[in-house]
Structure 1
Amino acid sequence: MRYIRILVVILFIASLGIYGAARIRERASEDPTRPVITSDREELEISTFYEESDLLAGLTAEDERDGDLTDQIMAGNFSQFIEPGVCNLTYVVFDSSNQAETLTRRVRFIDYEAPKFTLTQPLVFAVGAENNARSYVHATDQIDGDISSMIKLLESNVDYRTAGDYTIQVEVSNSLGDTTQAELPVHIVEASRLSTDIHLTQYLIYVKQGTEFHPEDYIDYVEDMDGNQLDADSLSISSQVNTGEAGIYQVRYQTDGDTGRGETWLTVVVRE
């Protein structure tokens, strides 16, 4: 009896498929023409801060039976980048007979920049402290926003038990396939060198190659162990940044006054 019921269900589903195919053929025979999408440009240039309506600029759609279908055009998903900041986007429109037509054109993001890493605190730790430098690394992207969850730790030579200079190598990709890697410096220092806190406005910045860079612009404030603010003019600054050449550089900020010693680092990524 159970097999009879299964057979009945199979026959019912098959009959629905046959009926649906017949209806599609019938509708097609009633309306043999398909809609047409046209674009007045081969490549659409937009900002990464685009509105949905921006994606439809320069498009029109016509159908022999239904007339103007421009307001029925729908944008699909972006392809992976075919070159930095450039991808394909496919559009579709349906006529009243549910016949579809598609068009694909290039889209260029005129202000696109590759994903960037950020730091929630400097990668400077006291010897022996339980820490994980990777946990302070975040990432943002103009297309996807916060992509911190996509960060991969590729390599680390950090020994939190021994004072020294180390690195972690991280990588992140956005949804369009653009990947950024960085080798970020990590400093393990004696606790006595961190008795004064030097706060910066940022701990990892990106600078365009060839532009000016002033390390003092990133000082926020300095405070002692009791939370009393100190004169930031007492800081000594050592910068190795060369904005003429792309790369990852560091700026070291230090103080060694009566209230104690302190140091921190700013990581500077110079991009072309």
Structure 2
Amino acid sequence: MKTTGFKRLMVVSSCGLVLSGTPVAMAQELVEPSQEQTTEETTIQEPEVLEQEQPAPEQEEIKAEVVNEAPVKKTLPVLNGVKNHTIKEGETFDPKDGVTAQDEQDGDLTDQIQFTGSVDTNQAGTYTLTYSVKNLLGESATATAIIQVEKIEKQAAPLPQPRAFTLEINDFTALRHSDLKAQIIERLVLKEVNGDPATLDDVATFTIDQPDATNTLGEKTISLSVTASDGTVSEKTITVTVVSGLRIETADLTVIDEESFDPYAGIQAFETASDGSEIRLGAYDPATKTGIEVIKNTVDLNKAGLYEVRYRVHTSLGETAERSIRVTVIVKQVFDPTIYLTVNDQDMTVGEELTSEKILGWAEVLGASHIAYEIVDQVIPVDAYNRLTTAGSYRIRYTATKEGVPSVQKEITLTVRDRVCYSAPTIQKRILRTSPQLGSVRTERTLPKTGETKSGLLNPLLGLSLIGLVAFLKRERLLSKLMGKK
């Protein structure tokens, strides 16, 4: 392309001064309204010389002179920052980001940049953008950018982790016909794999393999199964012992020869029903094979001494248990001056209260006016509240006396056993000491007088009445004890 120059029309006075410098092109426009101009070359025509009137003699002669200026250099605008890009599907993309344009003559042309084409960043593919810009002279520049949108491979959703549970429950004992599943649910502790607590509301199903296991007695192996919502199964096995709830109470008896003896007076037995209530068992019934059966009875009412009665208890479920009692038989003649003293070995537990009155209360005596006791070999340790503090075996000697009658002594063994979880490190101990001397408040009691008087005739009558009274009172007291336990 050729460079087009401009010529200026210089009007020079006759004295050589430049009066005006209008460009030839402009001067030509003043002469002609329009003139063709091509993109390749612009031709400047010399203006026609107009005839001018001859100046007056006094005026200066004006001369026109054409002066050539340096030609204007044409430059194309430049686009910068048009680059190919690769982006990920879904990313943000600005087509004009970083794209600028400039021209040597016009300066910054960034605001004049245009582009064609578009980019859908949500759809993978290849897109073309064409940028263009023009300067003030109409010169333009173009550039092309390729935008590659890459598809993102979506990862598969992670599979749900299996939800298992830890089942915590101990072996236990259940009554017959009780609701086994309800008892298991009450005791069962559920935990997540990470140790967090859970409930049965968090699981789909809960089952046990033997819901009717309590219908029969004995040890049963029960399998528990908990199924989570995702189908994961957690299992545990426990042992459940089914019992009938048999409760047996016994009491030793003392029988005087005048009394009738009932072997069932020393035992009571109860069986727990399915609803939790207790049913008292009577004497053994061969038809139903339930009740209390006497399997041993060595009592001889005609001979004073200590005897044993043994029982076997049968429940409606076939469960059996055996117990025994001791029976003391006292045979006394009306005028027999002999003192009768009956007292048996005793069992107690650490922590139980032991007083002199209780020790004396263990003895049954006839024909004596005083009863006393003494601790043999070693003392019995108790605390400030008369509670036993030390397990062991202790000998106690009883002495029954009556004026004019030889005294009677008998020794027993008191066995003190440890109690589970009993602990009293700060208990203040003191020693229970007793004296065998008669008349001691703590170690003896005064018995009803047997009627010693100066009248020989009154003595037999009073003695007979006293023996009958004592026998009646003993029987009433024994019956009261038994009735209180019913």
* Shared fold per TM-score greater than 0.5: no
What TM-score results when the alignment is normalised by the length of structure 1?
Answer: 0.41
Would you tell me which structure has more helix in proportion to its own residues?
1
Larger radius of gyration: 2
Would you tell me which structure has more strand in proportion to its own residues?
1
Q: Which has the higher contact order (CA 8 A, sep 6+)?
A: 1
